[in-house]
Structure 1
């Protein structure tokens, strides 16, 4: 069993900004960049640096499990630049963001335009919904559970840092604390570059972003 599991979400990404702008304008957006290749924004890079400074205070991670998505890898690289330690780093595809299949890159307005029946299904059962050729939150939970089991077997007594995504951090809460899947929505959204910490099955901090209060582009 790791002594602690600390999970952080990546900093603000270009897709985060595109979706927020589209939502504010009430328009549809379909991203053309593959989800795994979306980079951080300048603000996201600043957030990741501030996150690294926070993690540098106290006991640094001994093992890092990172999503292979570009925004997560960039976040870890900026965090690592602030640490004195050089932890072991593993890229693990099981920590990738939720795969939305044929709906990937689309906001809700775009889904309504192109796949109105899927939009209705999504709104009726958000946490039980599986996009065509994509994943449900249960699917994400299954791969997160596999990863947590691997951490428990391979990282006994060590401080583990997970660098990943909103959906992954939520599913860590579901898996580690056994919070029912239908109840995790009350903990969403998980903020960019936020920190969550578990010691055993107990949550010490969740979705904390106090280190970002003075961050700007």
Structure 2
């Protein structure tokens, strides 16, 4: 792999609805089906214009199969040199299990044992019932990264971007635990380029194209 460019999906309805004072921020849908908002679609279009300027172009495009990433890729990849999209469940969002759609307050009230476990082992290693820990996500990301070649473009989620930094040695567990995935902004671009010493982080969380 010569370069890796990762795009977080545009704003979704779950992102727009998040209210930390309530117990739930979304209900009545699967995580896989959460769509973009009108703003998220506009962000995807702006991202596509920026991606079309990248030299060299892309040899490979991989996308999470979730609705919000599929929509982001469909809108962004309107330029003629874009390769066909390969959908790969290994770059999907973290599976939250029973905690899907709940705020921290909601978890504490509805699943107090899960909340205590999360406090005890830390958010990085905690695996909610029916869900994944951060290392679980890292394991599947390691597998798909090994298969990438040339100049790769990935449409994915905030946790996958943070964990790719972890895999490439840019962050450790303590640094990850001290931040939130929300620091990776919607429709942001992060890019690594190969050097003699390995993959170097060239751009992180860039949203200049959205201004």
Which residue number corresponds to residue 76 of structure 2?
79
2:168 is paired with a residue whose SS is helix
Larger mean Cα displacement after TM superposition, 107-116 or 133-142 = 107-116
Selected match of 1:33 from 10, 29, 32:
29
The CA distance in 2 between the partners of 1:61 and 1:121, in whole Å, is 43
Which residue number corresponds to residue 194 of structure 1?
188
The CA distance in 2 between the partners of 1:140 and 1:100, in whole Å, is 11
Which residue number corresponds to residue 148 of structure 1?
145
Selected match of 1:109 from 83, 86, 105:
105
Superposed, 1:104-143 pairs within 5 Å as 104-124=100-120, 125-143=122-140
Higher relative helix content: 1
2:152 is paired with a residue whose SS is strand
TM-score (normalised: structure 2): 0.90
Which portions of structure 1, spanning 4 or more consecutive aligned residues, are displaced by more than 3 angstroms? Answer: 185-188
Structure 2: stretches of 5+ with no match in the other structure: none
Structure 1: stretches of 5+ with no match in the other structure: none
CA RMSD of aligned residues (A): 1.5
TM-score (normalised: structure 1): 0.88
The CA distance in 2 between the partners of 1:181 and 1:163, in whole Å, is 24
The CA distance in 1 between the partners of 2:142 and 2:129, in whole Å, is 23
The structural deviation recorded for 1:123 is 4.1
CA contact (8 A) 1:8 1:194 kept: yes
The structural deviation recorded for 1:102 is 1.2
